[in-house]
């Protein structure tokens, strides 16, 4: 007997065997039990989620010799014929290969005739969205007034392409993508029945690669078993899929935390030697960064379906949340840009190096080796692919004010100044203190929205607008507190309160006002320029205000 692939051998033959489509099963079962059946059904969903399978089970339910019910016997002549694909009254049509109106008319010409063997003649039209406009018109006429003995089941992966006149005459069911756990558990049941030993991690990797499709998952399982039919192991699945081992991802992240670009490239080289797929490599890296972000924001979070949480928790303590958000965006953008790179390896290497190049400068509590505090921040780096999470959050929260990151002083504060020694401290305003603080990157951006309300011997109280309060994390507080204590030469505890007053002159607002003034001066200078005025008068030219930018470099040099 010839080998039968798992997807066909273990295709569900009853509604109770279907995985993950309970909402569809319940509706069809109730309709069959109550005798309230529509004449046309539209099943939508991605590939391999059960559209054709549901249509065949429905055909069995309608034509079972034991009667119409949601539980066909599966043993009678009609049920067996439908399972084997030879039931004359179940007409399966591939609309992708029969798109012409003549093909549709040829199919529908026999609609008026009674079923040859069963109670109902069931038309299953797969990929119905591929029909031409004239074909849809021909089908519409039949759907408007179908004979009582005919049922239509239309299946499609793209319902947007189906005319609304067809949609309005069908009972529509949206089949959902299957969850990773559902696919993995179904694979486990099949392997148990097949007598094949397996590693749970291997099934997890296959279920993840299936991307919501049970059929794709079983096809991948078939492929993996072709290598070793006795035992399914993770290493075999990884070699087949080209996925990166978890240890490679962890080693890359450790190198990133240590600021060791050479070590990260070495790990990348090892992954390429094992023929790992470059897109999958960046996808696995992005997923690990996503999981670290989850741990940072929800420390108790843990998904039992994905192993390695302890190692990721250790790494989470070595990164700022802003770093993780930036690295994640770099990874997914790099994955998208692989096709434009000279080759896949170059694209992966540059994506990894970009994480080192545009990494936020080390804060007082941040990770990384000593001597890296001079690194550029993402917002200041030329060609940076994306702002840091703190800057992005500030832009989303501020309605009137764009985010500004006041520049740190180019020269270190003189340790003998009155502020540093504690003398004359009350004479220094918050703006001056902020400009001289040794903070940078995301910490400086967040703290620029603070307003000093009260200063004491051991505690300073600041206020912040609610739009920016969520950005002031514990890590930011510790970095800011350490810098302020160093500046004042004594231990200072920082307390931050929310304040709804949006007109407070914080360092960020002052910088914004200055930027607006520079922009206004630049526009006035352009409009008053004799050459520009001459072009306006003689050529009818106009000035596009959005294209005018102030010369900040020239102003700072003056």
Q: Give the pLDDT confidence of 194-223 residue by residue, as tens digits.
A: 889 998 888 988 988 888 899 999 999 998
**What are the Cα distances from residue 71, in Å, to 63, 121, 410?**
11, 19, 79
CATH class of domain segment(s) 400-558: alpha beta
**What are the Cα distances from residue 529, in Å, to 14, 50, 336, 518, 533?**
81, 70, 45, 16, 6
Q: What is the pLDDT of residue 245?
A: 67
Least confident of 31-45, 101-115, 216-230: 101-115
Per-residue pLDDT band at 468 (split at 50, 70, 90): confident
Identify any residues that bridge with 351 across adjacent strands, giving them in sequence order: none
Q: What is the pLDDT of residue 331?
A: 92
* Highest-pLDDT range among 164-168, 455-459, 543-547: 164-168
With contact defined as beta carbons under 8 Å apart, do 187 and 21 qualify? no
Domain-by-domain residue ranges, the chain? 6-174, 180-241, 246-357, 400-558
Identify the helix (H) or strand (E) that includes residue 42: strand 40-44
More confident residue, 242 or 222: 222
Q: Is residue 365 predicted with pLDDT exceeding 60?
A: no
CA angle 467, 469, 473 (to 5 degrees): 140
Q: Is residue 189 predicted with pLDDT exceeding 90?
A: yes
Q: How much is the mean pLDDT over the chain?
A: 80
Q: Which residues contact 370 (CB under 8 A, 6 or more apart)?
A: none
Specify the 3-state DSSP secondary structure of 94: strand
**What are the Cα distances from residue 340, in Å, to 328, 337, 350?**
20, 5, 12
The number of residues in the chain equals 558
More confident residue, 172 or 554: 172
Of 302, 308, 310, nearest to 201 (Cα)? 308
What percent of the chain is modeled with pLDDT above 90? 25
Q: Which residues contact 373 (CB under 8 A, 6 or more apart)?
A: 361, 362, 440
Least confident of 115-119, 156-160, 412-416, 448-452: 412-416
More confident residue, 174 or 400: 174
Least confident of 120-134, 423-437, 478-492: 423-437
Spatial distance between the Cα atoms of 233 and 249, rounded to a whole number of angstroms: 20
Q: State in Å, rounded, how far the first CA of the chain is from the last one.
A: 89
Q: In this structure, how many other beta carbons lie within 10 angstroms of the beta carbon of residue 344?
A: 16
More confident residue, 331 or 205: 331
**Structure tokens given for 427:** 């004479």
- Dump the DSSP string for 39-58: SEEEEE-STTSSHHHHHHHH
Q: In this structure, how many other beta carbons lie within 10 angstroms of the beta carbon of residue 532?
A: 15
Beta pairing, strands 40-44 & 493-498: unpaired
Q: What is the mean pLDDT of residues 450-470?
A: 86
* CATH number for the domain whose boundaries are 6-174: 3.40.50.300
Spatial distance between the Cα atoms of 506 and 431, rounded to a whole number of angstroms: 8
Q: What is the pLDDT of residue 215?
A: 92
Burial class (CB in 10 A: 0-12, 13-18, 19+), 373: middle
Q: Is residue 40 predicted with pLDDT exceeding 60?
A: yes
Q: What is the pLDDT of residue 389?
A: 38
Q: What is the pLDDT of residue 406?
A: 42
Spatial distance between the Cα atoms of 540 and 273, rounded to a whole number of angstroms: 64
CATH 1.10.8.60 for domain 180-241:
yes
The domain made up of 246-357 has a fold known as Zinc Finger, Delta Prime; domain 3 (1.20.272)
């Amino acid at each position: 007997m010839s080998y039968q692939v798992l997807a066909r051998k273990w295709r569900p033959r009853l509604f109770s065997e279907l995985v993950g489509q309970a909402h569809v099963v319940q509706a069809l079962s109730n309709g069959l039990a109550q005798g309230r059946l529509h004449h046309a059904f539209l099943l939508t969903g991605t590939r391999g989620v059960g559209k054709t399978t549901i249509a065949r089970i429905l055909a069995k339910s309608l034509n079972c010799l034991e009667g119409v019910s949601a539980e066909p016997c599966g043993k009678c002549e009609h049920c067996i014929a439908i399972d084997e694909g030879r039931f004359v009254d179940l007409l399966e049509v591939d609309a992708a290969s029969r798109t012409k109106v003549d093909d549709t008319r040829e199919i529908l010409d026999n609609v008026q005739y009674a079923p040859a063997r069963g109670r109902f003649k069931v038309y299953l039209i797969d990929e119905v969205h591929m029909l031409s406009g004239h074909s849809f018109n021909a089908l519409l006429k039949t759907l408007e007034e179908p004979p009582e003995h005919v049922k239509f089941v239309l299946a499609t992966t793209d319902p947007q392409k189906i005319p609304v006149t067809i949609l309005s005459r069908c009972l529509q069911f949206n089949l959902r993508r299957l969850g990773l756990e559902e696919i993995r558990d179904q694979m486990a049941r099949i392997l148990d029945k097949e007598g094949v030993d397996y590693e749970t991690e291997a099934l997890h990797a296959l279920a993840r690669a299936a991307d919501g499709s049970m059929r794709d998952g079983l096809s991948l399982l078939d492929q993996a078993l072709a290598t070793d039919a006795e035992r399914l192991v993770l290493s075999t699945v990884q070699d087949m899929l080209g996925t990166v081992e978890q240890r490679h991802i962890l080693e890359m992240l450790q190198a990133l935390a240590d600021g060791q670009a050479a070590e990260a490239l070495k790990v990348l080289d090892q992954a390429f030697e094992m023929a790992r797929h470059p897109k999958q490599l960046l996808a696995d890296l992005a997923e690990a960064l996503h999981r670290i972000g989850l741990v940072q924001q929800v420390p108790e979070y843990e998904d039992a379906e994905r192993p390695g949480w302890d190692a990721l928790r250790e790494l989470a303590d070595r990164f700022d949340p802003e770093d993780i958000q930036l690295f994640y965006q770099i990874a997914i953008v790099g994955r998208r840009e692989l096709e434009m790179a000279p080759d896949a390896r170059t694209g992966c290497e540059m994506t990894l190096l970009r994480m080192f190049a545009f990494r936020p400068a080390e804060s007082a509590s941040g990770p990384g080796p000593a001597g890296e505090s001079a690194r550029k921040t993402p917002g200041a780096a030329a060609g940076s692919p994306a702002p840091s999470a703190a800057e992005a959050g500030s832009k989303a929260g501020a309605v009137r004010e764009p985010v500004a990151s006041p520049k740190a002083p180019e020269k270190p504060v003189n340790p003998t100044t009155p502020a540093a020694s504690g003398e004359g401290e009350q004479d220094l305003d918050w703006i001056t203190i902020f400009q001289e603080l040794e903070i940078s990157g995301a910490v400086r951006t967040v703290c620029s929205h603070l307003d000093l309300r009260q200063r004491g011997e051991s505690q300073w109280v600041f206020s912040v607008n609610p739009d920016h309060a969520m950005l002031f994390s514990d890590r930011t507080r510790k970095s800011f507190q350490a810098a302020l204590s160093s500046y004042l030469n004594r231990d200072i505890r920082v307390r931050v309160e929310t304040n709804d007053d949006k007109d407070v002159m914080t360092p960020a607002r002052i910088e914004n006002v200055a930027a607006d003034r520079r922009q206004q001066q630049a526009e006035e200078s352009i409009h008053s320029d004799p050459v520009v005025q001459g072009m306006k008068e003689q050529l009818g030219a106009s000035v596009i205000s959005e294209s005018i930018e102030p010369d900040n470099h020239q102003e700072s040099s003056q």
